[in-house]
Structure 1
């Protein structure tokens, strides 16, 4: 069987690609002509060039495939102009799903995000049924992914598509070549550039476990359902201390109130407009940190057989990969 994977040049998408190859799938990947293809090197995949903003290229990409794993997304916590992000995450997703429907694909797995879900004010783990208020979503990324998921759910309902939604939490591990915003936290901690922290928390999962969750969703997921693919809930301080332990270093850190961080993030964003580099902290990321972003994968465990390794293993693999590939020099 042939499966099309979008986003395979990136972090999570490449892990999904590798997982499908191991499972015996013939894999075609959609890649932009100017994309960094290091994550595709030495893998027996068919590459078709295209762009989520080019419908004709999407029709060519799905032709001859049985399955679609739509992992690609513009994942940035700061953008000077959000138009491209919405074109890729929302409009591009709609175009790809329509192309897949027209081509008669037998199975579609759409990669959403826990960013689309609600959070519990008391810090307990949210799940697929935790209500989300779109008015409270901080940042263009979260809002674009929320809009995309709502659109996908409507298309699935209207056309009775064989589509399953997965909501990954925070993937950590090898092959984060860009790196992602979370990967930069790991790198900054290794380099001793994290002298302070805010009282927030994340759900950390190994990227390969989340990728395997995509395969399980393909095999066992129910159409029109969504499944959180996550791992361990950890405070930011616990994450930083775990990386210190892995790295064999020890740092004293101070806790900074979120209201103090907001003006600092504002200044970093203004500087980023001048330097054309992504700021280390953004207003949206600090606003997101006001709540513990804790989630439960119990539904995926129960219905898909999803399992995840301890978060410390994901952090160890990330640290090792960054060091082995000279990101820390």
Structure 2
């Protein structure tokens, strides 16, 4: 099978490309800059430079493939308005599905986000049927991913659409880095400041295997959470510190009121069209424990998820090898 994988420079796409190449598939990776691609050349890998917001570039990428795995997305937390997210995450996704239908592809795997559904507690984690709730209803990124998800499902009578929704991914080949920033934030620090909330962390290689399983077994119009281990931020940083042999860090909890003050200050700056990752929505998200369950994916796709320790360790090793730690 020949697969088009979008967003090829990203953490998840890079690991997904590597996994499918190991399975013997042909892969076409769509990306905006070939120079930033971190994997070595492979005889079954073709890199295509293009932008999903340009229909002609999308059609050129799609035309000789069997299926699309759409991972590319605008994830920056610092954009002040919704239009930028809509252009890439919604309109760009629609460009891809229209091209896939035009060239009669077999399946379209859309990589959404766990933040498009409601979170839960450690005792009762969120699932695919949990309704979205605050503070994620205020997140422009989450709103755009949910709108894209709904838009794509409107085409499900013309092509099989399966959505996978990973939680917070960690692991090797994080070239930017993206989510691996959380490791760089705490690894060398004597003082680690952590927010009061928590989240679900998933090994990016488990997420890649989940995508492969969705391609084989995923049902049309279905959504599958790809979730690993639920941890508070304090628990996560404690795990990170343990990976530093002989090192000690002082853990300091940042009070919720202080985070909210920073968030509201960020809201004011955004009204002035200033880019900042601080916003009341983003700060509120840091204060809740948004936990999820992968039970549906485990049962229906036969995919399994590991504790996050190995992903932390392998991400550290990759960062060290590439001069980022």
TM beyond 0.5: yes
Q: 1:196 aligned to 180, 193, 198, which one?
A: 193
Q: Distance in 2 between matches of 1:91 and 1:136?
A: 21
Q: 2:321 aligned to 311, 320, 324, which one?
A: 324
Partner of 1:140: 140
Instruction: Please state how far the C-alpha of 1:140 moved relative to its aligned partner.
Output: 1.6
Partner of 2:37: 38
Contact conserved, 1:68 with 1:100, CA < 8 A, in 2?
yes
Partner of 1:83: 83
Question: Residue 238 of structure 2 aligns to a residue in which SS?
Answer: helix
Change (3 A) 1:121 1:40: closer
Instruction: Please state how far the C-alpha of 1:135 moved relative to its aligned partner.
Output: 8.5
Q: 1:246 aligned to 221, 243, 248, which one?
A: 243
Please give the residue correspondences for 1:1-329 in structure 2 after superposition, counting only pairs within 5 Å.
1-32=1-32, 34=33, 36-44=35-43, 45-120=45-120, 124-133=124-133, 137-156=137-156, 159-180=157-178, 182-192=179-189, 195-248=192-245, 249-267=247-265, 279=277, 282-328=279-325
Instruction: Please state how far the C-alpha of 1:310 moved relative to its aligned partner.
Output: 1.5
Instruction: Please state how far the C-alpha of 1:139 moved relative to its aligned partner.
Output: 2.2
Gaps of 5+ in 2: none
Q: Distance in 2 between matches of 1:187 and 1:136?
A: 25
Instruction: Please state how far the C-alpha of 1:251 moved relative to its aligned partner.
Output: 1.5
Question: Residue 39 of structure 1 aligns to a residue in which SS?
Answer: coil
Q: Distance in 2 between matches of 1:84 and 1:193?
A: 37
Q: Distance in 1 between matches of 2:171 and 2:31?
A: 22
Instruction: Please state how far the C-alpha of 1:291 moved relative to its aligned partner.
Output: 2.1
Q: Deviations over 1:63-122 (max 9, x none)?
A: 111111001111122224543322110110011111101111011111011010112378
Change (3 A) 1:129 1:325: same
TM-score (norm 1): 0.90
Q: Deviations over 1:29-86 (max 9, x none)?
A: 1122x45433243233112222111001111111111111001111122224543322
Question: Residue 200 of structure 2 aligns to a residue in which SS?
Answer: strand
Change (3 A) 1:121 1:285: same
Runs ≥4 residues deviating over 6 A: 268-274
Q: Distance in 2 between matches of 1:79 and 1:307?
A: 35
Contact conserved, 2:190 with 2:248, CA < 8 A, in 1?
no
Instruction: Please state how far the C-alpha of 1:178 moved relative to its aligned partner.
Output: 1.0
Number of aligned residues: 322
Q: Distance in 1 between matches of 2:135 and 2:252?
A: 32
Q: Deviations over 1:255-282 (max 9, x none)?
A: 22222112234557888999x8865x54
Instruction: Please state how far the C-alpha of 1:191 moved relative to its aligned partner.
Output: 2.4
C-alpha root-mean-square deviation of aligned residues, in Å?
Answer: 2.4
